[in-house]
A and B are shown apart, each in its own frame.
Chain A
Amino acid sequence: MKIRDKTTLLLASAAVFILPSFADAATEEYVQINASEVLSSLNDPSLSGEDRTKKFNAYMDEFTDMNAVANFAIGKYSRRFSEDEMARYRVAFRTYALSVYENELDAYRGEAVVVKNSVDRSANDSIVNTVIKRADGQDMDVRWRVLTRKGEYQVVDVALNLDGNLIWLGIEQRAQFLSLLDRTNGDANALIDKINSMTKKLEDSRAN
């Protein structure tokens, strides 16, 4: 084998082993930067409540593909809803999901996100493990599922580790949405009404 061929083979072999670790590092960096920005957006004292929500929502829209998450939450029904039902559902879901995330993450506003490590489930599906360091010492283990879709990173679910009990917010939501749809013969309006009522409760509780 010629030296040039050997070099090519060596580089190709190295790439096979090295590239995944580069991918890991890039995914971890993506979460580190974006999660920190999201949390800092909740802690900007110069913004009014409304402006803070707007800024948070803008970051979340960059951070995740809300339509894809909405599809995931209703599983097989995403193919059964009519276009109109799907459009109304997506609007309701987006509003609700952003409220949930704002509420859940509000407890960690302004805190530092520290990446611990990451696990690749496949070439396009990784979990980034982070710790959110809180000033009161109650650090939180938060895990981010990141997919590479169309060449871009997207966070598609977030898990909170509560005493060894890993709660994936999207998966929890999906289990309940699917059950509600199963029990109402796939009635999109029943789900949309329920989501809207939950959003209203969240907004009311935040206002009080």
Chain B
Amino acid sequence: MRTTLLSSFAAITLAACASGQAEAPKGTIADPYQDFNRSAFAFNQGLDKYAIEPVAKTYGAVTPSFLRDRVGDFSRNLGEPVTFVNSALQGEGTRASDTVFRFIMNSTIGLLGIWDPAEKVGVPAHKEDFGQTLAVWGVPSGPYLVLPFLGPSNPRDALARVVDQAFQPLTWTEFESDDDLDTYIMVGSAVLSGLNTRLALDEQIKTLNSQPEPYVALRRIYTSQRDSAIRNGEVDEETVYDDLPDFDEFEE
């Protein structure tokens, strides 16, 4: 049953990837589900205003930054296997080996990842996910999508979240002492890491909400940040100016 559902989701998602790309004019972002997306965006904004922001601020007030940093490091370390698999799938040998080095060093000397000594010795963290891997393989993103609770995405990245979960070793781990411990670790880490992120992004969220069209601003930010992540933060100087609009198109 689960396999059938996953296959159907994958088929629909990949079909959406293929169709959405064709519909987007050059330099714009395909958004054929805008009505649904705007509803989901409004829902997420309400969720943030009335639940996430107050909880995050309370969490920030009652925990020292030192502790929050340890939570952040632990959570990032849990995600290193996912980054490793995706780096390897993208043929990024150096980034894959860096990730292995980080995971081993931080899990041992870093006491199960609550410290990040690897960064101190010049191997900083980076993140790769299956959405980036699919993009490197040439799978188009498909149209813009806003998911309730999860935020901005697209069919390719939405599907990739499911696959990345399968790359996460804790998904397949059972502790003898407590069958549910792996779930507690994963959920607890995700929740605390989410609150850390919300605290870190507080100023940016305020700026976003003061824009004339926060929905449009977030759509552009998400899309361009994903493109940048796929290029590992490098600007493609060959094509970077191709989509600039004609400035004098509406000049008198």
Contact = CB atoms under 8 A, between A and B. Distances in A.
B233 interface: yes
Contacts of B224: 165-167
A71 interface: yes
B251 A71 contact: yes
Contacts of B245: 72, 171, 174
B225 A165 contact: yes
B213 A198 contact: no
Interface in A44-76: 68, 71-72, 74-76
B251 A163 contact: no
Contacts of B212: 176-177, 179-180, 191, 194-195, 198
B243 to A, nearest CB: 9
Contacts of A166: 224, 235, 240
Contacts of A175: 213, 216-217, 220
B127 to A, nearest CB: 12
A161 B235 contact: yes
Contacts of A109: none
A88 interface: no
B60 to A, nearest CB: 21
A123 to B, nearest CB: 13
Nearest to A79: B250
A78 interface: yes
B176 interface: no
B235 A156 contact: no
A131 to B, nearest CB: 13
Contacts of B240: 166
B220 A72 contact: no
A168 B244 contact: yes
A172 interface: yes
Given A163-B233, A164-B231, A180 B250 contact: no
A127 interface: yes
B251 A68 contact: yes
Interface in B198-252: 210-213, 215-217, 220, 224-225, 227-228, 231-235, 240-241, 244-245, 247-252
Interface string A170-193: 011011110110010000000100
Contacts of A191: 212
A165 B228 contact: yes
A120 B248 CA distance: 16
A105 interface: no
A125 B233 contact: no
Interface in B88-125: none
A125 B231 CA distance: 26
Nearest to A156: B247
Contact of B247 (A68, A177, A180, A201): A68
B206 to A, nearest CB: 10
Given A165-B225, A172-B217, A175-B220, A145 B211 contact: no
A185 B227 CA distance: 32
Nearest to B236: A164
B220 A201 contact: no
Nearest to B28: A175
Nearest to A78: B250
A167 B217 CA distance: 11
Contacts of B244: 121, 145, 168, 171
B213 A176 contact: yes
Interface in A66-106: 68, 71-72, 74-76, 78-79
Contacts of A165: 224-225, 227-228
Contacts of B235: 161, 164, 166
B217 A176 contact: yes
9 contacts: A71-B250, A72-B250, A75-B250, A78-B250, A127-B241, A147-B247, A161-B235, A166-B235, A191-B212
A-B pairs, top 3 by smallest CB distance, nearest first, are A164-B233, A164-B228, A165-B228
Interface of A: 68, 71-72, 74-76, 78-79, 119, 121, 125, 127, 145, 147, 149, 156-157, 161, 163-168, 171-172, 174-177, 179-180, 183, 191, 194-195, 198, 201
